[in-house]
Amino acid sequence: MNDLFADRMNKVHKSFIREILKVTEEPEVISFAGGLPHPKSFPVDEIKEAVSEVLSGDCMEVLQYSTTEGYRPLREYIAQRYSKQGLKVDADEILITNGSQQGIDLTGKVFLNKNDKVLVENPTYLAAIQSFGLFEADFRSVPLLEDGVDLDILQRILKEEEIKLFYSVPNFQNPTGITYSKAKRKQLARILEDEKTVFVEDNPYGEIRFLGEDIPPVKSYLEKGVLFGSFSKIVSPGMRLGWIVAEPEVMEKIIIAKQASDLHSNYFTQRVVHQYLMDNDVDQHIEKIKKMYRDQRNLMVEMLEEYFPENVHYTRPEGGMFLWVTLPEGLSSLDLFNLAIKENVAFVPGKAFFTDGSGDNTLRLNFSNSDAEKIEEGIKRLGKAIYQLM
């Protein structure tokens, strides 16, 4: 039956994380494996009010089919919010997607032929590997330094190879938590300006900066490229609402791809989220999330300092939901996983985030979804497992 499926399906397998998450769902396991926002970050009462507002009066239209691009006032809101961040975008350059994940899918559909080269950060977002992989991309990777990608290596790759897309998560990257400095964003934009490579900027965590100063997206220094955003981390991930920003020529193709994919994103919840944004101070809400995640991140770092051996290194992210751990060379995080799960604590081994097969000694820890007590106890147990491994 192997000739039944398209060739692209041979290259992609069930997500490793997905399989791991099944193990970690047991109630006695303290899990830093997932990538979930904290449920306390959801504005439940405000959503309730927004729903009852949207469903009042002559509301039948909110249950009807709608336009492929999405609800225009919601797109206008997003455009206005960008203008505050120093990025000039018109509502026509925005299309509503099912989370920024669908941004990746539509971008692959619009740009990628089989064997086109896609450059990713090393490591990178796992579901981007899956998604571009289904368009039979040929992956190249560029290392991440503390302040973003290694520009020297990037330039060398761009010179040597014809790279179709460069996929990047400049803010609080998943999995590493690394953020591109402002200087690096400008340099990167200058390098890409003269290249045919399409810059794909994914920014699901950008609003959740709890330390340091906000930095404008790379797109604000670069005329071309596509940019993704998401309501998943600031309103609700279950509603699957995000967006793509693209120049008109590209947007025209994205509209065609979106229409063929699912006609349009859930219109009812587009209306609900828009109503929520109109009736509430979303910045105040985001401040609450930031405070919560900052406390959790700080506690996790504190615990790591106390319970991890000194030759284990980790990032100290200024936002987002993840922290990245590097074990001494030669140790395997998969072995650690097996020891840790006996202690009822879980994480994601890092190897899956690398397209070049490296990363054996790395692992990802999520801090957004765990309360203080679990962070304290979980890191204690994980430290114990690391000492066992050594």
Q: Which of 252, 306, 356, 373 binds a copy of itself (CB under 8 A)?
A: 252
Q: Could you tell me where the beta strands, DSSP code E, fall in 93-232?
A: 94-97, 117-122, 138-145, 148-149, 163-168, 198-202, 226-230
Neighbours of 354 (CB within 10 A): 21
Q: Is 266 in the site for a copy of itself (CB under 8 A)?
A: yes
Q: What angle do CA 207, 222, 183 make, to 5 degrees?
A: 70
Please answer whether residues 275 and 53 qualify as being in contact, where contact means their C-beta atoms are separated by less than 8 angstroms. Answer: yes
Measured from the CB atom, is 57 or 212 closer to a copy of itself? 57
Burial 302-335 (b: 16+ CB within 10 A, else e): ebbeebbeeebebbebbbbbbbbbbbeeebbbeb
Instruction: Say how many Å lie between the first and final Cα of the chain, rounded.
Output: 45
Packing angle of the helix pair 16-24, 333-342 (nearest 10 deg) = 20
Query: Per-residue x/- mask for a copy of itself, residues 164 to 203, rule CB under 8 A?
Result: --------------------------------x-x-----
Position 101 contacts a copy of itself (CB under 8 A): yes
Minimum gap (Å) between residue 208 Cβ and a copy of itself: 16
Name every residue whose Cβ is closer than 8 Å to that of residue 260 and which is 6 or more positions away in sequence.
none
CB of 148 to a copy of itself, least distance (A): 25
Which runs of consecutive H residues, i.e. helices, occur in 308-371?
Answer: 333-342
Q: Which of 371, 368, 353 is nearest to 322 (CA)?
A: 368
Minimum Å gap between C-beta 194 and a copy of itself is 15
Name the one residue in this structure whose structure tokens are 């020529």.
Answer: 249
Q: Which is nearer to a copy of itself, 54 or 154 (CB)?
A: 54
Cβ-contact 344, 381 below 8 angstroms: yes
* Secondary structure element (H or E) that encloses residue 296, with its range: helix 282-307
Q: Which of 13, 156, 288, 342 binds a copy of itself (CB under 8 A)?
A: 13
| Beta carbon of residue 337, minimum distance to a copy of itself (angstroms, whole number) | 21
Q: Is residue 374 near a copy of itself by the rule CB under 8 A?
A: no
Contact with a copy of itself (CB under 8 A): which of 31, 124, 130, 230? 130
Region binding a copy of itself by CB under 8 A among candidate stretches 62-70, 152-160, 182-190, 294-302: 62-70
Helix (H, G, I), strand (E, B) or coil at 356: coil
> Judged by CB under 8 A, does residue 288 bind a copy of itself?
no
Which structure tokens are listed for 66? 């709608």
Say whether residue 257 binds a copy of itself (CB under 8 A).
yes
With CB under 8 A as the contact rule, the residue among 31, 82, 95, 105 that binds a copy of itself is 105
If the CB atoms of residues 33 and 325 are measured against a copy of itself, the closer one turns out to be 33
* Rg over CA atoms, the chain: 21
Among 20, 74, 75, 97, indicate the residue that binds a copy of itself (CB under 8 A): 97
User: x/- string (CB under 8 A) for a copy of itself, residues 196-235?
Assistant: x-x---------------------------------x---
Q: Is 285 in the site for a copy of itself (CB under 8 A)?
A: no
Q: How many residues bind a copy of itself (CB under 8 A)?
A: 78
Using CB under 8 A as the binding rule, whether residue 25 contacts a copy of itself is answered as no
Least CB distance from residue 229 to a copy of itself, whole Å?
A: 15
The string of DSSP letters for 46-81 reads HHHHHHHHHTSSS-GGGGS---TT--HHHHHHHHHH
Which of 194, 249, 310, 329 contacts a copy of itself by CB under 8 A? 249
Q: Shortest CA distance to 147 belongs to which of 98, 187, 180?
A: 180
The verdict on 280 binding a copy of itself (CB under 8 A) reads no
Q: Is 352 in the site for a copy of itself (CB under 8 A)?
A: no
The correct pick among 16, 29, 53, 55 for binding a copy of itself (CB under 8 A) is 55
Closer Cβ to a copy of itself, 261 or 298, answer by number? 261
Q: For residue 111, state whether it binds a copy of itself (rule: CB under 8 A).
A: yes
Q: Cβ(86)–Cβ(216) under 8 Å? A: yes
The residue among 123 and 204 lying less far from a copy of itself, judged by its C-beta, is 204
Smallest separation, CB 230 to a copy of itself (Å): 11
